[in-house]
């Protein structure tokens, strides 16, 4: 397993379970292109250019700024971020437990992470996992990752706990913006044909059967 990306504790009530967090997925399918110079066909560099003084700014000299009005910024450094009153910077703070079926995963789930217990947290980690499995519950929690707080979901995944970051409710767009069909007349025969087609193509989900055809085709030309 790769190096952990976060260390902290799962916290709920008086319980704190020390854990490490790892990315649960890694990108293999993406076909990456580099931007090349048209003359020498070598990679070009993207420079950080200041249009005000017309000069290039080295990366290690750049500052963070939050725009409060047009072209007006408040400077922010790491010490300011460290002072934020968020207990979720070092803890996965469980807010409540809900039934697994209550969360519309298709809309909310963003990223997936595995949680692994530190040596001193093995037993309480196993106890939480067993309790979640026996009650068919998931934990709704908050955690701060990469300079922002995330809503997240903790659920059992084999012997591990899976932490999925979620979209905040105000990040979900309404379907009212879409031009969706309404009151479309459909005959019973058409429904029967569509249902029959679905049943004929139905199977158990086995993701290992699927391959990235675009990537395979692209590799044939390079």
What is the secondary structure of 164-210 as a DSSP string?
Answer: EEE--GGGSPPGGGS----S----HHHHHHHHHHHHHT-----GGG-
On average, the pLDDT of the chain sits at: 88
pLDDT for 85 equals 65
Per the listing, tokens 């379970």 go with 17
Helices (H), ranges, the chain? 78-82, 105-108, 122-135, 188-200, 213-219
pLDDT tier at 148 (50, 70, 90 boundaries)? confident
Q: Is residue 193 part of a domain?
A: no
Domain residues for the domain of 154 are 6-24+83-170
Confidence band, pLDDT 50/70/90 cuts, at residue 125: very high
Quick check: is 34 in a domain?
Answer: no
Integer CA distances (angstroms), 4 to 44, 97, 117, in order:
32, 26, 11
Structural domain count, the chain: 1
User: Percent of the chain beyond pLDDT 70?
Assistant: 95
pTM of full prediction above 0.95: no
The DSSP bridge pattern shows strands 91-99 and 6-12 to be parallel
Position 137 in a domain: yes
The gap from C-alpha 113 to its chain's centroid, in whole angstroms, comes to 8
> Which two tokens mark 105?
């995963």
Domain assignment present for residue 62? The answer is no
Residue 177 has a pLDDT of 84
pLDDT band at 86 (very low <50, low <70, confident <90, very high): low
CATH of the domain at 122: 2.40.290.10
pLDDT single digits (tens) 52-70: 888 888 888 888 888 989 9
Residue 22 token pair: 């790892």
- Classify residue 148: in a domain, yes or no: yes
pLDDT of residue 147: 74
153-192, pLDDT tens digit by residue?
999 998 899 999 999 999 999 988 888 888 899 999 999 9
29 pLDDT above the threshold of 70: no
């Amino acid at each position: 397993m790769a190096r952990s990306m976060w260390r902290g504790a799962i916290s709920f009530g008086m319980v704190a379970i020390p854990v490490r967090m790892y990315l649960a997925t890694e990108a293999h399918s993406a076909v990456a292109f580099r931007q090349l110079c048209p003359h020498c066909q070598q990679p070009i560099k993207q420079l950080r250019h200041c249009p005000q003084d017309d000069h290039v700014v080295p990366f290690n000299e750049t500052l963070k700024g939050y725009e409060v009005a047009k072209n007006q910024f408040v400077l922010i450094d790491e010490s300011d971020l460290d002072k934020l009153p968020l207990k979720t910077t070092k803890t996965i703070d469980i807010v409540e437990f809900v039934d697994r079926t209550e969360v519309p995963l298709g809309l909310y789930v963003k990223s997936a992470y595995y949680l692994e217990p530190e040596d001193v947290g093995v037993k309480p980690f196993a106890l939480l996992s067993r309790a979640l499995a026996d009650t068919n519950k998931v934990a709704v929690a908050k955690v701060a990752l990469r300079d922002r707080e995330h809503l997240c979901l903790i659920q059992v995944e084999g012997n591990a706990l899976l932490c999925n970051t979620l979209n905040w409710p105000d990040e979900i767009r309404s379907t009212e913006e879409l031009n969706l069909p309404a009151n479309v007349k459909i005959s019973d025969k058409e429904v029967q044909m569509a249902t029959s087609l679905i049943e004929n193509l139905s199977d158990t989900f086995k993701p290992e059967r699927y391959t990235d055809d675009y990537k395979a085709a692209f590799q044939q030309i390079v």
